[in-house]
Amino acid sequence: MRRVTLVILLMLFGATAASARSLEAIRERGALTLCAHPNALPFASRRDAHPGFQVEIAKALANQLGVSLEQRWVVTSFQYRRADCDIVLDAIADRAALAEVGLRMSRPYQRSGVALAVGANSSAASLADLRPGQRVGVQVGSIASMTLSKRGVQTSPFVFEDEIMDALAQNEIDAAAVTPAAVGWFNQVHPDAQLRRIPAFEDDPDLNWNVAVGMVSPDEQLRQGLDAALEALLANGTLARIYAHYNVELQSPK
């Protein structure tokens, strides 16, 4: 999944020729621009009552910089190339890979990756407790899918995480390899389901990573300004509160 995400970033920004946008220019303009998906809760949403934690974090960052936030709702690589973003959220903190596509990264602010979820009635306490023939829902082409297949675990492919979570809740699969955010949000929206996370991939570096703010050709002042804003939001508990609103835990980067 980590490598798939990096490929997506390469696809989205590889054809851009973004000019540097300075912190001074953003302040003169009065707005910081975020690119986000319009229908991807808990990450972002255009029409839902909840805007998503990416949008809320971006608003808090903009406030720290003394400007407002503007959203560019994007789905395809073509839209990203024309959107004139300043930042994207949840960029995997791989400095070299981001530099290849003209992105710079802020200091990491969250730890993410792949978690394994099971139903409330499952007796499994770890990946090793899954019995032969039990199926794990995975995203098509993900590193999690390949990792589980190498371990001899039977998998069921899906396109989207919410589809995997629905299938798990309906007992169509026995476990789900998804992001921790997907598990937390599903339990919040479906309080009767109460799916459980169990240990599975904690020691696998390909399935755990830090995330940062991806900045499209910033100047040094903007990079420093966003780093300082993140420091402030971490120190005063704002980031933890935003994530908690979506039943997601803030974890310290490693």
Residues 132-139 have a mean pLDDT of 96
Please compute the mean of the pLDDT values over residues 15-33 and round it to a whole number.
Answer: 80
According to the model, what pLDDT value does residue 194 have? 86
Q: What is the pLDDT of residues 205-220, one digit of tens each?
A: 999 999 999 998 899 9
pLDDT of residue 71: 94
What pLDDT is attached to residue 72? 92
Q: Which amino acid is at 164?
A: I
**Total number of domains constituting the chain:** 2
Kindly state whether residues 61 and 77 are assigned to the same domain: yes
Q: What is the pLDDT of residues 86-129, one digit of tens each?
A: 999 999 999 888 887 778 999 999 999 999 999 989 999 999 99
Residue 142 buriedness (CB in 10 A; 0-12 / 13-18 / 19+):
buried
- 92 and 141 housed in the same domain: no
Question: Is residue 165 located within the same domain as residue 214?
Answer: no
pLDDT at residue 158, as a whole number: 97
Q: Which H or E element spans position 87? A: strand 87-92
Identify whether residues 94 and 189 lie together within a single domain: no
**Are 8 and 128 members of one domain?**
no
Please report the pLDDT score of residue 11 as a whole number.
Answer: 43
Residue 252 lies in a domain: no
Flag whether 45 is in a domain: yes
Tens-place pLDDT, residues 138-196: 999 999 999 999 999 999 999 999 999 999 999 999 999 999 999 999 999 999 988 99
Residues 192 and 149 in one domain: yes
> What pTM does this model have?
0.90
Higher pLDDT, 168 or 21: 168
Q: What are phi and psi for residue 210, nearest 5 degrees?
A: -90, 150
Compute and round to an integer the Cα radius of gyration of the chain.
19
Question: Could you report the per-residue pLDDT of 59-90, keeping only the tens digit for each?
Answer: 999 999 999 999 999 887 667 667 788 999 99
Report yes or no on 94 lying in a domain.
Answer: yes
Q: What CATH number is attached to the domain comprising 185?
A: 3.40.190.10
| Residue predicted with more confidence, 7 or 57 | 57
Going through 134-180 in order, the beta strands assigned E by DSSP cover: 135-139, 154-158, 175-178
**123 inside domain:** yes
Q: Based on the domain organization, do 107 and 214 belong to the same domain? A: yes
Integer CA distances (angstroms), 200 to 19, 160, 167, in order: 43, 20, 19
Kindly state whether residues 20 and 101 are assigned to the same domain: yes
Query: Which residues lie across from 113 on neighbouring strands?
Result: 208
pLDDT greater than 90 at residue 18? no
Judge if 149 and 189 occupy the same domain. yes
Task: Note the pLDDT of residue 254.
Answer: 92
**14 shares its domain with 108:** yes
- Decide if 107 is inside a domain: yes
| Per-residue model confidence (pLDDT) at position 78 | 66
Provide the pLDDT for residue 214. Answer: 92
8 or 175, which is more confident? Answer: 175
User: What domain range includes position 77?
Assistant: 2-112+209-245
Same domain, 70 and 152: no
At residue 100, the pLDDT reads 79
At 7 the pLDDT is: 39
Cis peptide before 253 (omega within 30 of 0): no
Between CA 64 and CA 69, with CA 68 as vertex, the angle to 5 degrees is 100
57 lies in the same domain as 80: yes
